[in-house]
Amino acid sequence: MTTMLLTESFAERGARERARALLDPQTFRELIGPFERIASPYLAAQGVVPQSDDGTVVARGTIGGVRACVVATDGRFLGGSIGEIGGAKIAGALELARRDAQRGTPTRMVLALDTGGIRLQEANLGILAVSEICDAIVALRELMPVVAVIAGRVGVYGGLSLSTALCSEIIVSEGARVGLNGPDVVETESGIEEMDSSDRPLIWRVTGGRLRLRQGFATELVSDDVPAIRDAIARAFETPNELGPLVAQVFPDPRLARDDFLRAMEIQP
Amino acid sequence: MIETLTYEFPATQSVEHRAHVGVVASGNCEILLEPAKDGRSAVVVRTSVNGFGGTWQAVLGRFFARNPVAVQIEINDFGATPAVVALRLEQALESAQ
Amino acid sequence: MSASVRGRAWFERLTGKARPVEGLPPSVLAADATIEGHAVRVIAVVPDPSARFERARNGEMGIDEGFGVAAAVNATPAGSAILAIVDVPGQAFGIREEAIGLQRSLAASTQAYIRARRGGHPVLTLVVGKAISGAFLAHGLQGGWIGAIDDAGIEIHVMSEAAVARVTRMERDDLTRVAKEIPATARDIRTFATFGAVDRIFAVSDPDAPGDADIADVVRALAEVLRTPEIGCRNPRDRLDVPAALHTRTLARRVREELQAQWDA
């Protein structure tokens, strides 16, 4: 049953609708959907109500007529954080896509990530899952591109930001942020002078999609528009996938005072 | 802690499909709705906001009074207001018909 | 936070007089050692009080450490195994790091370890101190074999305990209680091992200054693992099939089974 949506905004959609929007029309088929109720058994004891799909949706379909799989995390459930089940959905889908590629029936893999990182309430299981995800991305990239779409409200932080950096093509929106440590964590650990987590414009200047494109970290910057994102994904799959080492880009002398350093990076402090 | 509440209502109508709406986010809830077999409706509410059994009874009662459908409903709640719950129930029912 | 000396201590005991790999930042130690006849590039991340990044002076994985470890791993000589000595309190928390893109630096070392392992270099990990979050993902967790010393100073988690307490608004005592109920939230090495993630735990006399017997124990165990290179080349996913994981990672296994069953409808 498709919900009638009058908007082409990607960010306003939930994970399920994002996956549906990225797959060719009428091809969306969810795996391990909410009615199978594979939900986290670890949350109730910690005072958290679990969600029926654990906040991660895996859907098969086609993209540009080619077999595909979209995995989308729901930034609204526990910040899109990754626990045992969500992590296994992502890793398992990547592993199956690699199996398909080895068999000569490649499945295009798109990771639509909107996540603050590993779920604290499932820390050990989450970190193990992310190590599997990282390995699975590199393994799949030996055979074909892996495309990340970071265009939600949370962006991507934590272990999954590391995984994102392993992808072949990273499509980001202006509104998305890509960083390792969330601004509140940086503020807590290093002080408000280091980073004021309430200064939203600063946060976006330091970790937003536009900067990431300028740095060459993201390969394409898109508006919050489903057709634009679909086009970007199509282009991403046409781009040759060269699995080379990640090389450090040039940056100013970190010994510069904070504000001078940021200005030298063409970021207004 | 998590409170689990259960309710039952009589039913005279049926629905065609199952439906899933919402999300377990602050101020929101997730609803899974499936057709039930035996002329009665059953609702299970899981919520992290305790002590509102009466409110749930009232909201659900109003919904089933208007829509006496035979369904099995599961609500995973994170502090949704009665208005939000009522909206989600309507959305779920619409999807299911 | 006082910087830990363990990583360097274990590195020096295990590499002895082996020549250090050049061209790395001072916080990344690497040397090509021989362990009972097996060539092993040993890599550790250690504190550098004069690091050019002020937020990465206590042994954290920062920009220079991620790319430094990557460089060391990527240049591993043919036929050599790799041993990651892990004592990392976490990743560097700084605005410079976020602006440059610390996730990319840690991805560099993660990718290096993955490609080395998949390319046939056995990757072994020895946890001797803290193994937190992105730092552990980038340095250690991609090992095909993971050993650890048995010590309360070992801490495995995604965030410092203080930070978890702040974020969840729970008291430390409550967190300890929850950790007993929900092993996934525990920080100690023995609980981490119940998930099938640790292959061997070593009792040692002094974790900060390992004695001859401690080192001999570890060397013997490493040599045994190195005699079967397939062990060090196992992927993270392979850990789902070890006996412990059958009980503690049932959902991770079940999700994969269901995905496979539903993949081609």
Query: Closest-CA residue in chain A for B97?
Result: A1
Query: Once rounded to an integer, what is the mean pLDDT over residues C77-101?
Result: 97
At residue C11, the pLDDT reads 98
Q: Is the pLDDT score of C3 beyond 60?
A: yes
Within 8 A of C263 by CB-CB distance, chain A residues are 31, 60, 96
Residues 70-89 of A with CB under 8 A from B: 74, 76-78
C70 with A164: Cβ contact below 8 A: no
Q: Is the pLDDT score of C246 beyond 70?
A: yes
Query: Once rounded to an integer, what is the mean pLDDT over residues A162-186?
Result: 96
Q: How confident is the model at residue A242 (pLDDT cuts 50, 70, 90)?
A: confident
Within 8 A of C259 by CB-CB distance, chain A residues are 31-32, 58, 89, 92-93, 96
A34 with B19: Cβ contact below 8 A: no
Interface A–B counts its CB contacts (< 8 A) at 50
Summarised one tens digit per residue, pLDDT across range A41-62 is 999 999 999 999 999 999 999 9
Q: Which of A37, A50, A51 comes nearest B23 by C-beta?
A: A51
Would you say B7 and B60 are in contact if contact means Cβ atoms under 8 Å apart? Answer: yes
Would you say C73 and C116 are in contact if contact means Cβ atoms under 8 Å apart? Answer: yes
At residue B39, the pLDDT reads 81
Q: Which of A62, A16, A63 is nearest to A35 (CA)?
A: A16
Summarised one tens digit per residue, pLDDT across range C15-65 is 998 999 999 999 999 999 999 999 999 999 999 999 999 999 999 999 999
Mutate to test the interface with A, among B2, B15, B24 (most CBs of A within 10 A): B24
% of chain C residues with pLDDT over 90: 91
Beta strands in chain A (DSSP E): 29-31, 56-63, 66-73, 108-112, 146-150, 169-173, 220-222
Question: In which element (H, E) is residue C6 found?
Answer: helix C6-15
Mean pLDDT of chain A: 95
CA distance to C193, C197, C199, C262, per residue, from C125 (Å): 14, 11, 10, 36
Within 8 A of B23 by CB-CB distance, chain A residues are 14, 51, 74, 76-77
A51 with B48: Cβ contact below 8 A: no
A162 with C107: Cβ contact below 8 A: yes
At residue A5, the pLDDT reads 64
Instruction: Report helix, strand or coil for C130.
Output: strand
B76 with A77: Cβ contact below 8 A: no
A124 with C157: Cβ contact below 8 A: yes
Q: Greatest CA span in chain A, whole angstroms?
A: 57
Multiple choice CATH, A15-264, 3.40.50.300, 2.40.10.220, 3.40.50.1820, 3.90.226.10: 3.90.226.10
Cα separation of the two ends of chain A? 48
At residue C170, the pLDDT reads 84
A50 with B20: Cβ contact below 8 A: no
- Sketch out chain B's domains with CATH numbers: 3-96 (3.30.230)
The set of chains that have 3 or more CB pairs under 8 A with B is A
B30 with A74: Cβ contact below 8 A: no
pTM value > 0.90: yes
At residue B84, the pLDDT reads 98
- Sketch out chain C's domains with CATH numbers: 6-234 (3.90.226.10), 236-265 (no CATH)
% of chain C residues with pLDDT over 70: 99
Summarised one tens digit per residue, pLDDT across range A81-116 is 999 999 999 999 999 999 999 999 999 999 999 999
C184 with A32: Cβ contact below 8 A: no
Within 8 A of A33 by CB-CB distance, chain B residues are 20
DSSP code, position C86? E
- Partners of B31 in the beta sheet? B21, B75
Within 8 A of A52 by CB-CB distance, chain B residues are 20, 30, 32, 74, 76
Mutate to test the interface with A, among B1, B5, B23 (most CBs of A within 10 A): B23
Query: Once rounded to an integer, what is the mean pLDDT over residues B51-71?
Result: 97
At residue C1, the pLDDT reads 47
Query: Once rounded to an integer, what is the mean pLDDT over residues C78-97?
Result: 97
At residue C2, the pLDDT reads 62
Summarised one tens digit per residue, pLDDT across range C213-241 is 999 999 999 999 999 999 999 999 999 99
Put simply, whether B17 touches A (Cβ < 8 Å) is: yes
Q: Is the pLDDT score of A22 beyond 50?
A: yes
Q: Which of C67, B86, C255 is nearest to A132 (CA)?
A: C255
Q: Is the pLDDT score of A243 beyond 90?
A: no
C265 with A29: Cβ contact below 8 A: yes
At residue C130, the pLDDT reads 96
Give me the numbers of helices (H) and strands (E) for chain B, helices first please. Answer: 2, 5
At residue A3, the pLDDT reads 53
Instruction: Report helix, strand or coil for A93.
Output: helix
A50 with B76: Cβ contact below 8 A: yes
